[in-house]
Every structure is written in structure tokens, then in C-alpha cells.
Structure 1
């Protein structure tokens, strides 16, 4: 399968935002490929004390919202902070978890496309308001998403391997 960044898509968008969008596209494809057939118990399982696949999916969805809030020049809301603290809670059906992920990825793509500021513009992250550039933050969004995709896939592969042993 050819990855999104090699498909020649989104060529009308400049390279930084295009790369972020391709990372989100790849995340969606890989997460669904490796996780869509897991049962509810498997999504919430923590084999070998690894974070669950459900955690990774929720974390990707919710961290995209938080990081894009910073990229847009905003500060986190109380709701975002509450959702942050509940990411590891073992709750939610597969349908609910994948609906949250799919909605977050779609909304994130729209938010990235709406950004028209210069990539060198200053933004601030976290309660300590650490300075970053918009371009650096967008690159981090792609990196962070892919890091957690890899963790979700690894955990899913462990679960599938354990299932096949039984």
C-alpha cells in the first residue's frame, strides 16, 4: 500500500500543512487497519502493562484538539483538561472510541486547512506558555500523532498474538 505522502495528493497545499494532513491520513488508515477488529475487551486490555489501544486512540483524538488549540493561539478549556485526565479510563464501546477518533481526525484536518498564518509566528504551549513557532507546533502534531499510532499498533499486535495463542 502506498502511503498518503507518496500518492501525489493535496498538492495544492504548501508542504508543511500537506505533511501534517498526510500524517493524519496515515494515522487513520493504520489505526483502523490494526484496531478495527479488536473487541471491546481487547481495546481496553493492557497486555504486559502497556497502555491500552483505547487509551492511544483517545489520546490521539484529544491531543490533536489540545495541540491545535495552541496552534490557533488559544488556551485549553476546562473541558479539554477533564478529557485529558480521563483518557486512560477503561470505558467506551469500540463504536464510541472510533467515532471520537474519526471525528477528531476530520475536525483536525479542517482546522489545519484553515490555518493561514505564517509558520514562523509565535505560539505558546501549556500552562507555562512555552514559546514555539506555528510551523514547529504543526510538525509536532504530525510527530506526536505518529508516535501514538505506533504504540497503538504495537499493543494491537501483542493482543492479536495473544489471541492466536489461545
Structure 2
């Protein structure tokens, strides 16, 4: 199958947002391929004490929410901080985790589309220390951070299921 960035889609948006959106599309496709159909036990499994699939899927969309909040020039809410602290919680249902992932990914894609290309160089601060970056830097990090965690989730699925490669 051809990856999203090679399909010639999303030509109505500039190249930066297009590539971020394509990375998020690929993340969604990979999660559907590898994680849909996991049992509750499989989504929460932590073989060799590595992070669970549930953690990675929650962390992806909750991180996207936080990164885009900074890109939009806002600080994190108490609810966002509380959800950050619960990402590692066990006992999640696979259905709930996948629903959160799908909804969070769709929301992130809408927010990426709303970012103005003229704002990419706008300075932004991240976290309590207001570490320096830009709107464009945050957008690129949305793509690379998401892909990193999707890869970890897929690897975890393979370990949990004992997939031979």
C-alpha cells in the first residue's frame, strides 16, 4: 500500500501542514492495522516492563492535544495535566483506548488544518519553563513524536502477540 505522503492528497493545504497531516493519517492506518482487535489484556500488557499499547495510544493523542495547545499560543489546562498523569494507568478497555485514539487523532487533524502557514516562525514556549520553539517546530514535533510512539506500539503488539518477523 502506498503511504499517505505519496498519494497526492491534501493538495489544498501547504506542504508543512500536508506532511503533518500525512504523518497523522499514517499513524491512524498503522494503529488500525496493528491495534484494532486487541483484547483488553493485550492492550494493557507490559512484556519486559515496557510501556503498554494503551499507554502509547493515549500518549499519542494526549501529547498531540498538548503540543497543539502550545502551538495555538495557550497554556495547558488542569484537565490536560490530569490526563497526562493518567497515561500509564492500567486496566483500560481496548475499545475505550481505540475510541480515544480515533477521536483525538481526528481532533488533532482539524487543529493542524486551522494553523495559519504565516505563523510557522511565531515563537512559542513549552511547559512551565517556557522552553523556546516555534509554531512550525511544534507542528513538526507533532508528526515525529506521533510516528515514534506508533512504532513503539506496533513493536509492543508484535511482542505481545509473538509475531514472527
TM-score, reference length from structure 1: 0.95
State how 1:49-128 maps to structure 2 within 5 Å.
Answer: 49-116=49-116, 117-128=118-129
Q: Which runs of 4+ in 1 moved over 6 A?
A: none
Corresponding residue for 1:32? 32
1:131 to partner: Cα distance: 1.3
CA RMSD of aligned residues (A): 1.2
- Deviations for 1:80-123, whole angstroms, at most 9, x for unmatched residues? 01100000001321111111000000000110111114211111
TM-score, reference length from structure 2: 0.96
Gapped regions of structure 1 (runs ≥ 5): none
Between the aligned partners of 1:115 and 1:140, the Cα distance in structure 2 is: 14
Gapped regions of structure 2 (runs ≥ 5): none
What is the number of equivalent residue pairs in this alignment? 163
Between the aligned partners of 2:78 and 2:17, the Cα distance in structure 1 is: 28
